[in-house]
Amino acid sequence: PAAGGVPAGRGRAAAPREPLTHILIEGVGGEKRHCGAGGAGRPPLPAARRQRRRDRAALGGETEQPSAAAAAAAAAPPPAPGSSAASSSQRRGAASRAARREPGPGPFRGSPGSDTRARPATPDRHLSAGTDTRGRGIVRTSVLVTGVQVSSRIFMVWFIAHSIKQIQNEESVILFLVVWTVTEITRYSFYTFNLLNHLPYFIKWARYNFFIILYPAGVAGELLTIYAALPYVKKTGMFSLRLPNKYNVSFDYYYFLIIVMFSYVPLFPQLYFHMLRQRRRVLHGEVIVEKDD
């Protein structure tokens, strides 16, 4: 202790510190930068943030700008602890931090600098009116149903009516041909006007009402035609393959026609009741919930 019992270094005023004129800041990657007195310079940004800014500039996005509230909070002098200004400063600081965390434009969706706000959906230019958005087609009927209908008509025309000349003058042949003609004129008129966005109500009404009579009449005409062809097929043995042969396979067209006739029993009700459900949905606005196949 010094004279008077006062320890050395005590009781003496501390020497005033010299003002900080500049500091040397070492950034990421060894980058060094000087900041002048008063904070005129700014420390270097982290590498990830600099990369995001470069990406936004390349994509034409705007760089992040601090909000007015954040700038005012940063410029205000620090309030004394415990004062009301301190609590308001804390609120301003929280607001500025929330503003900095607000998503802005960025190169990658979901990244820290990306824009996560919802954008309005733009219409698909490739879809036209009446187009099925699931299959990108103009006819909503499934491929299986359409394939069964087309195959049955090819079969009736070429393998029954055209191949067996004796039945071409039967009334049943005229019946199913007239039914097919009216059905297809109504069906494709409906598709055409629907694509043109000008669907007359009569066409829509005919599309979902004519089938109530036409479908049973057409099926009756087809079945009667096949039944009339059975005696000629059995007598001539046409399209049949008898044993023995080099393939060791037999095929009897007569029994095949009988199987085809019985196949109408499970298939026709499914198509008919499907059209009835479609009729209730289109003409009466009922919501039909169908089970998955």
* pLDDT at residue number 63: 45
* Residue labelled with tokens 């009516």: 161
Catalytic residue among 64, 170, 191, 215: 215
Q: Provide the pLDDT for residue 103.
A: 46
DSSP 7-55: PTTSSSPPPPPPP--EEEEE-GGG-EEEEETTS-S-PPPPHHHHHHHHH
- Residue 222 is among the residues annotated as catalytic for this protein: yes
Question: Is-catalytic flag, 215?
Answer: yes
- The pLDDT of residue 52: 81
The secondary structure of 203-248, three-state, reads: HHHHHCCCHHHHHHHHHHHHHHHHHHHHHHHHHHCCCCECCCCCCC
pLDDT of residue 143: 84
Residue 126: predicted pLDDT: 38
Using a 10 angstrom Cβ sphere, with 0-12 exposed, 13-18 middle and 19 or more buried, the burial of residue 283 is middle
Is 70 in contact with 100 (CB distance < 8 Å)?
yes
Q: What pLDDT does residue 147 have?
A: 85
Residues facing residue 128 across a β-bridge: none
Q: Give me the average pLDDT of each 10-residue run along the chain (293 residues).
A: 50 52 50 50 67 78 51 57 56 60 46 45 39 55 82 94 94 96 94 92 94 95 96 94 90 96 92 90 71 46
Q: Locate the domains of the chain by residue range.
A: 23-64+89-109, 143-284
Q: Which of 208, 222, 253, 254 is catalytic?
A: 222
